[in-house]
């Protein structure tokens, strides 16, 4: 009932030691003692979810035991340090080393979260639309209220909420249910008496007239037009989410209203060209007790607020009058059919999330899962009453007085004001302390550091052993044929549930250098501009009616055996139901042969949306942008990655979005098409059921024969191209015909890696940091050791120093497929101190201050990732996309098993010692006086 973030802080706290497992942070320790395929915890507006998954039955029991004990019997002993937990290191007047504990991590997590203006808007939207109860506050915590939470409040909240009478359990998978029930009963339920938790949320009091509200946010330094940074939306309260059919209908209705270029609101709002994209939380939101619908625009001028409101009202009137075309409804129902058939490896987790909100409010979870029944019922309602949907629009969107208009515009001093309020709050707290209390706090701080630095006795935690890991991997049967005698096609027969997956890779080797930066834009718009006889609206309609998706993305793949060799291309991905394969392949033919580039206004709309999405993504993915920039100068592929997916691309799209005349950019697209959309240097793959393969092969053949070949032989732009074949693969005595897929790779024999340090100055209150080191490729002997080393440093050193002591939301080390080792931190209050921590991590490994148990745990964590489940749609993709065969994976597996302490210390000395390897650094974050004085940093 307040914004101190008590449920969120408790989410972190209960994972930090319990009665049965009294060691610090069992949650993070279990990441290394398990083969889990997923472990996390989430706090929503009105529940906290603790999900985990694994493919190993013993592991499942171990994790269930740790999670149950953590939730119901946490050790709250560490909270002695509670009041000191909030202080930021540079603000503490007594001891710069006083670290942050639970409140501190959450404090910086939420500071980072609220640098995302979309998040700020969504939060205010919920608070103001549902103002009478728990939805009026911030369950994750408002950074300025978090310090007010007391230990007593936290313990009280735990006692009343973390009780089996207020809990729900969900399992999914093929392990026997009886065992789960027995364990839940014995380890939790039997130890409690039933109580009345009184946590039910009352219905929101309905308003008798609409309301308006205005809020402020930080400036967006990547906005394409600095004078257009206002967001506005109109939101309506809908029905109780436990009315499952009504919500199913309203969800569909919302998709019809805002989904894709054919929807009424897209046409009316996005194409009015007064904003850049829909407002945050557009469409149906079913995560609160009563659902709501929201629609509006971001990236508008403040003077256009009224215009947007008028357009929304007019569009609702139009829909009430005209309704929806039948094929739009069919396209939506087709989408549901595909979602039901497409198998993902996180299906169980998706189901949990899907039912959690409704079940949390005592809705019937099984009702929610009967999707096919709901579709039949929906069809029946439409049949009986053709105006069924129009009546819903009138009731919920026109005649509904519980309607909120929310607007948000930037305030230049937004972050300064927050920092000032924070500083004042700290000052008040410090001034209220007596000398004796200050001394106590200082001593507690020292005690806490000592506690955090003490090695943990983790022997109480359950663990799998390295011997529990399967020594070999199952082989995937692949076959290769040549379509039209020249294009290799990989076929992988799998139980895909009646869905066909088609992919193709086309090389960029002949593309002129000056067109390269525009490849991501080309990929983004090529399936959205129209093709053949179809304009962009008709094309979108056909894609929705006949496919699950058709997407195009840049494809930069480092070679598995040489750091200066890589493949550059574009990946085309799609899926469809068996019956629609001819239609999907026809659409691809039209996109390849006759893409349309004449819709200039529509192109402008797409450009603005892309630029806005990139800008909005930085607060969530800042560490990835920092890492991509840091690795830019280490390998030739790194340079291309930065151009295609890094801050360079964000800035390029901002520049294009600012142009008043986009014709020069539009003219580049047909030129790129000429080099990319043909059958030269192309390969394809199909994953489908065995019964579907003959038909699939026929359709792919027809597609290849139907697309153009270059009239003249085009030379690669970069002269050094090598052709590489994947190894033939033997199983027993037979050699499967799956090998000869040639890949044309670029080699840069003269490439010289060099060091670069970049600071992107952003108005955020937290930092995102990446430090990258050039090491070795995938097949090199040292690669496995470096992989284990990265995990070891993360679990045994970096987590403690960066998160527990430093207060960052996250941090660690990882080795990418490209052979670049990356240290990173996320939503971090520190900057240069964290870079020093990275150095200390290397020294720690070189000193050998770790045990065999630590190495085994790092191996378990690495194998958990290596052996993560693969969906039928993705089988054989390592071979097709990366050129990595099952044999190579098996060799790598054996190298992982064999990694020893000597190997780890050896690679640490070889690659991490100062001056041994070339490294790059990048920080995204606020101005920094020390960096500003240092000429070795490039400031952006």
What does the alpha-carbon distance between residue 150 and residue 627 come to, in Å, rounded to a whole number? 38
Helical (H) or strand (E) element with 698: helix 693-706
State the alpha helices, DSSP H only, in 342-407: 347-360, 365-369, 371-384, 388-393
Which letter, b or e, does each residue of 800-819 get, where b requires 16 or more Cβ atoms within 10 Å of its Cβ? bbbbbbbbbbbbbbbbbebb
What does the alpha-carbon distance between residue 919 and residue 774 come to, in Å, rounded to a whole number? 6
What does the alpha-carbon distance between residue 536 and residue 871 come to, in Å, rounded to a whole number? 32
Half-sphere exposure of residue 196: CA atoms within 13 angstroms, side-chain side: 2
938, 756 contact by CB (below 8 A): yes
Q: Are strands 682-688 and 565-577 parallel, antiparallel or unpaired?
A: unpaired
Which letter, b or e, does each residue of 671-682 get, where b requires 16 or more Cβ atoms within 10 Å of its Cβ? ebbebbbbbbbb
What are 232's two structure tokens?
């506005």
704, 506 contact by CB (below 8 A): no
Cβ partners under 8 Å of residue 378, min gap 6: 248, 249, 252, 333
Closest residue by Cα to residue 146 from 325, 5, 335, 266 = 5
Closest residue by Cα to residue 827 from 842, 808, 811, 844 = 808
896, 784 contact by CB (below 8 A): yes
Q: Using DSSP, state whether 725 is helix, strand or coil.
A: strand
Q: Are strands 290-300 and 283-285 parallel, antiparallel or unpaired?
A: antiparallel
Closest residue by Cα to residue 802 from 771, 772, 836, 773 = 836
Cβ neighbourhood burial of 372 (10 Å; 0-12, 13-18, 19+): exposed
84 noted as active-site residue:
yes
Among 84, 89, 290, 804, the one annotated catalytic: 84
What are 310's two structure tokens?
């008028």
What does the alpha-carbon distance between residue 393 and residue 312 come to, in Å, rounded to a whole number? 12
- Cα Rg of the chain, angstroms: 28
The DSSP call for residue 913 is S
Question: What distance separates the 2 farthest-apart alpha carbons in the chain?
Answer: 86
List beta partners, residue 575.
501, 549
Helical (H) or strand (E) element with 845: helix 832-846
Helical (H) or strand (E) element with 793: helix 781-793
| Placement of tokens 């946010």 in the chain | 217
* CB count in 10 Å sphere of residue 266: 18
Among 11, 89, 590, 701, the one annotated catalytic: 11
What does the alpha-carbon distance between residue 395 and residue 440 come to, in Å, rounded to a whole number? 62
What does the alpha-carbon distance between residue 188 and residue 65 come to, in Å, rounded to a whole number? 9
Cβ neighbourhood burial of 852 (10 Å; 0-12, 13-18, 19+): exposed
Helical (H) or strand (E) element with 810: strand 810-815
Helical (H) or strand (E) element with 552: strand 549-558
What does the alpha-carbon distance between residue 478 and residue 490 come to, in Å, rounded to a whole number? 7
Measured in whole angstroms, the distance separating CA 148 from the mean position of its chain's CA atoms is 31
List beta partners, residue 588.
none
613 noted as active-site residue:
no
Instruction: Report the residue count for the chain.
Output: 940
Helical (H) or strand (E) element with 822: strand 820-828
SS (H, E, C) 115-151: CCHHHHHHHHHHHHHCCCCHHHCCCCCCCCCHHHCCH
Q: Which residues are catalytic?
A: 11, 84
């Amino acid at each position: 009932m307040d914004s101190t973030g008590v449920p969120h802080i408790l989410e972190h706290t209960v994972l930090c030691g319990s009665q049965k497992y009294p060691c610090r942070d069992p949650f993070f320790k279990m990441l290394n003692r398990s083969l889990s395929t997923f472990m996390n915890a989430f706090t929503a507006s009105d529940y906290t979810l603790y999900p985990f998954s694994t493919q190993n039955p013993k592991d499942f029991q171990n994790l269930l035991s740790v999670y149950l004990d953590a939730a119901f019997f946490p050790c709250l002993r560490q909270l002695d340090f509670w009041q000191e937990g909030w202080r930021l290191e540079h603000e503490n007047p007594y001891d710069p080393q006083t670290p942050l504990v639970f409140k501190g991590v959450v404090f910086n997590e939420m500071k980072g979260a609220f640098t995302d203006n979309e998040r700020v808007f969504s939060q205010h939207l919920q608070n103001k639309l549902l103002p009478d109860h728990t939805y009026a506050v911030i369950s994750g915590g408002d950074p300025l209220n978090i310090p007010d939470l007391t230990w007593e409040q936290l313990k009280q909240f735990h006692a009343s909420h973390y009780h089996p009478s207020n809990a729900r359990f969900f399992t999914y998978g093929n392990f026997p249910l009886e065992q789960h029930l027995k364990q839940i009963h014995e380890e939790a339920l039997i130890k409690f008496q039933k109580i009345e938790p009184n946590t039910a949320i009352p219905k929101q009091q309905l308003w008798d007239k609409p309301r308006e509200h205005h809020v402020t946010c930080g400036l967006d330094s990547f906005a394409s037009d600095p004078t257009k940074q206002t967001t506005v939306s109109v939101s309506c309260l809908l029905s109780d989410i436990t009315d499952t059919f009504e919500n199913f209908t309203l969800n569909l209705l919302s998709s019809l209203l805002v989904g894709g270029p054919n929807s009424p609101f897209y046409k009316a709002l996005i194409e009015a060209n007064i904003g850049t994209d829909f407002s945050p939380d557009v469409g149906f939101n079913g995560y609160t007790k009563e659902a709501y619908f929201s629609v509006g625009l971001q990236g508008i001028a403040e003077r256009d607020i009224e215009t947007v409101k008028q357009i929304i009202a007019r569009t609702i009137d139009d829909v009430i009058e005209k309704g929806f075309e039948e094929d739009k409804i069919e396209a939506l129902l087709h989408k549901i059919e595909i979602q039901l058939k497409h198998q993902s490896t996180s299906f169980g987790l998706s189901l949990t999330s899907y039912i959690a909100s409704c079940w949390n409010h005592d809705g019937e979870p099984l009702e929610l899962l009967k999707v096919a029944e709901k579709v039949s019922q929906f069809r029946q309602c439409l049949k009986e009453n053709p105006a069924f949907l129009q009546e819903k629009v009138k009731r919920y969107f026109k005649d509904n007085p519980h309607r909120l208009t929310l607007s948000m515009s930037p305030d230049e001093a937004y972050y300064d004001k927050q920092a000032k309020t924070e500083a004042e709050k700290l000052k008040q707290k410090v001034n209220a302390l007596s000398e004796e209390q200050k001394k106590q706090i200082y001593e507690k701080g020292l005690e806490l550091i000592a506690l955090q630095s003490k090695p943990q006795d983790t022997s109480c935690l359950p663990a799998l052993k390295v011997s529990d890991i399967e020594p070999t991997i199952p082989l995937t049967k692949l076959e290769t044929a040549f379509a039209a005698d020249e294009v290799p096609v990989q076929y992988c027969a799998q139980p895909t549930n009646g869905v066909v997956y088609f992919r193709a890779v086309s090389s960029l080797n002949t593309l002129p250098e000056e067109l390269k930066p525009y490849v991501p834009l080309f990929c983004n718009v090529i399936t959205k501009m129209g093709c053949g006889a179809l304009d962009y609206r008709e094309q979108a309609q056909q894609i929705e009616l006949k496919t699950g998706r058709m997407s195009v993305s840049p494809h930069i793949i480092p070679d598995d055996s040489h750091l200066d060799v890589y493949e550059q291309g574009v990946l085309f991905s799609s899926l469809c139901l068996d019956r629609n394969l001819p239609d999907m392949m026809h659409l691809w033919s039209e996109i390849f042969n006759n893409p349309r580039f004449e819709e200039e206004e529509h192109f402008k709309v797409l450009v603005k949306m892309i630029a806005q999405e990139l800008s909005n993504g930085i607060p969530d993915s800042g560490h990835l942008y920092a890492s991509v920039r840091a690795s830019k100068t280490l390998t030739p592929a790194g340079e291309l990655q930065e151009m295609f997916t890094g801050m360079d691309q964000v800035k390029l799209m901002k520049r294009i979005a600012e142009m008043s005349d986009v014709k020069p950019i539009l003219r580049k697209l047909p030129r790129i098409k000429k080099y990319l959309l043909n059958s030269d240097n192309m390969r394809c793959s199909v994953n489908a059921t065995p019964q579907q393969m003959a038909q699939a092969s026929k359709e792919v053949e027809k597609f290849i024969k139907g697309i153009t070949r270059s009239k003249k032989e085009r030379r690669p732009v970069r002269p050094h191209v090598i052709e590489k074949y994947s190894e033939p693969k033997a199983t027993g005595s037979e050699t499967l015909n799956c090998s000869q897929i040639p890949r044309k790779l670029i080699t840069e024999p003269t490439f010289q890696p060099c060091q670069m340090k970049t600071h992107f100055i952003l108005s955020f209150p937290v930092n995102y940091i990446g430090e990258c080191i050039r090491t070795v490729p995938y097949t090199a002997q040292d690669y496995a050791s470096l992989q284990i080393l990265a995990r070891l440093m993360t679990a045994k050193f970096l987590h403690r120093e960066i998160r527990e002591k430093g207060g960052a939301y996250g941090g660690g080390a990882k080795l990418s497929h490209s052979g670049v080792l990356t240290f990173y931190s996320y939503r971090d209050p520190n900057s240069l101190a964290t870079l020093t921590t990275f150095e200390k991590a290397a020294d720690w490994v070189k000193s050998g201050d770790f045990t065999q148990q630590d190495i085994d745990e790092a191996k378990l964590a690495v194998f958990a990732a290596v052996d993560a489940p693969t969906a039928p749609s993705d089988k054989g993709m390592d071979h097709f996309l990366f050129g990595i065969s099952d044999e190579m994976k098996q060799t790598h597996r054996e190298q992982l098993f064999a990694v020893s302490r000597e190997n780890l210390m050896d690679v640490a000395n070889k690659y991490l010692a100062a001056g041994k390897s070339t490294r790059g650094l990048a920080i995204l974050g606020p101005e920094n006086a020390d960096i500003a004085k240092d000429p070795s940093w490039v400031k952006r």
